[in-house]
Structure 1
């Protein structure tokens, strides 16, 4: 297993390099000009100086190489420095000081330059880290809630196939699959915020939790966006769980376990569930990065100031460094969680060997 994991980690490097090339070329060929947002009153020579300052006068291969250095070398060093000096979790470690910051004009030729947003001229990764907690509050909670609801529904629906519970679960799942978040989000706002007045319709990203009352306020403003995202997650995972359980309930080893006198709970919740979780693990693991992409619409509906709204704003402003970085982060998450899913296969099923 260790050899397989190391081999997959090594193979993920050329995969990510190819993904980075595709992302860069697609955005390079996309229509639009970063100078289109500049007012028409700005003289053309000033616009040209702005293009030079943004590095747009350089050839494509030079800008691509610079971006590769930023995402594979400079930003990881900055992130390690952040973990070892600014967080309570790893702050006890010695400060690595891997990143050399530019101070003054003496070392501009030797120090590293980070990927800067064309909108704010701030490092893109710093902007992502500022908005990431807001996204994790909503997306992370929705994903955990969706999984906790979906697994029992899928298990019981398969065990009581064609019962009223199974029919109701199938109906709710079809709704979750069919209704897009921009419709379900507006619908829950109209019902629970406008009509009933139970929950706020806009997510206040400036709210801080420091006591019980502020935690209740945070919980109330999270309910509607979490409800919308959890509905989609529950619909998908519960159907996969049901199908996998039905496939294993009719296997020979289940009849053998029952013939040995094992209790029905032990047969279903130990033997059948463990084998049924193998394909479901793939859906859960690969759904983590995908739900970040799906949360883009939800963040727009509920005005959550997360990375989804940041990506939409960057696309509208033609902020290519921000779009490139966020897209690559999503791709990186997909590659890494795919590896995690493959490793979990061997943990769930001892028959699977990669050596």
Structure 2
């Protein structure tokens, strides 16, 4: 309980700082959302009237206090351009981004953990050098380039997958995931590079421990030693990198969603920035920060599951 209270207090401080920074940065950006919304034909009087209607004519401290008051009531605000609550707009765009992140993290784990284990087991061999080189290559490839390459090959030439979009409304979950296959493959393959390096480094740290040599001396098979003794004790940093990768994908899939024309949160943020839709920018970034904090808390709690020796009471 003490650990949870400390983490919740820290989360509140982080979110408060994020709220201040997001509010100030959106207001410092050039451009008037009212002028963009009303168009070139709007007069100065029309713009001033619209600013008064949305409360943008008030001093910045007053605007901030009013916004925080709405946040404390569970209201993220009203979108200027979409003319509906920000929470509703986020819920409408959350499904593609969430499924894409889960799908991509699964691919990254399926590729990264076995490859990292193999690189650690055959340390210094040709296989280790090849896997390490592929990891460096994967970390260097731009996501938009790989996305366009997969679209050209698998969607245009072979016709195996749709080139873009998320399907029609009401489509079954399997069809949704089918549309997400290529973007998930892009993110999964590229992010597996980090998982490979962390898994390899973590495994190498454990392979030199005395209990690993003892397990081998007892006559246990190499597979049992690697899975039950080495991998299990190396899971803490692996879980950390997978959790942070998940959080990064939820908040950072803007380029991939744009390339594949997915109606996700990243696409929503890009449009909001171009339109200077302050409530959408503020609400979305605050929710993403809350997701980061929540995933970090879940990761800390998972530590006690994979390694019972870890105690969180004194954290």
Normalising by the residue count of structure 1, what TM-score does the alignment of the two structures yield? 0.82
- Please give the secondary structure, in 2, of the residue aligned with 1:297: helix
**Counterpart Cα distance in 2 of 1:180 and 1:293:** 17
1:302 and 2:260 correspond: yes
Paired residues of 2:117 and 2:200 also in contact (CA < 8 A):
yes
Kindly report which structure 2 residues correspond to 1:221-236, keeping only aligned pairs within 5 A, or say none: 221-236=179-194
- Please give the alpha-carbon distance, in whole angstroms, between the structure 1 residues aligned to 2:207 and 2:291: 33
| Cα distance between partner residues in 2 of 1:33 and 1:13 | 31
| Offset, 1:128 | 0.5
Question: 1: CA distance between counterparts of 2:130 and 2:157?
Answer: 26
Paired residues in the alignment total 312
**Which residues in structure 2 correspond to 1:147-296 (within 5 Å)?**
147-210=109-172, 215=174, 217-296=175-254
Inter-partner Cα distance in structure 1 for 2:219 and 2:160: 51
Query: Using CA pairs below 8 Å that are at least 6 residues apart, which structure has the higher relative contact order?
Result: 2
Q: How far apart, CA to CA, are the structure 1 residues paired with 2:11 and 2:177?
A: 38
2:17 maps to 1:4? no
Distance 1:7 1:249 in 2: 35
Equivalent residue, structure 2, for 1:321: 279
Q: Deviations over 1:224-256 (max 9, x none)?
A: 111111112211112111111011111222112
CA deviations on 1:103-125 (whole Å, 9 max, x unpaired) are xxxxxxxxxxx600111121001
* Structure 2 unmatched runs, 5+: none
Shift of 1:329: 1.3
Q: Is the 8 A contact 2:199 2:234 kept in 1?
A: yes
After superposing the two structures, state which structure 1 stretch, 129-138 or 161-170, moved more: 161-170
Contact (CA 8 Å) 1:286, 1:338: kept in 2 or not?
yes
- Is the contact made by 1:205 and 1:305 (CA closer than 8 Å) also made in structure 2? no
* 1:26 aligns to 2:36 (yes or no): no
CA apart distance, 1:219 = 4.3
Q: CA deviation at 1:205?
A: 4.0
- Is contact 1:118-1:321 (8 Å) kept? yes
Where structure 1 has 5 or more consecutive residues not aligned to the other structure, the ranges are 76-113
Q: 1:261 Cα shift?
A: 3.2
User: Quick one: distance in 1 between partners of 2:48 and 2:169?
Assistant: 41
Cα distance in 2 for residues equivalent to 1:6 and 1:272: 33
- 2:103 alignment counterpart: 141
Where does residue 49 of structure 1 map in the other structure?
49
Q: Give the structure 2 partner of residue 119 of structure 1.
A: 81
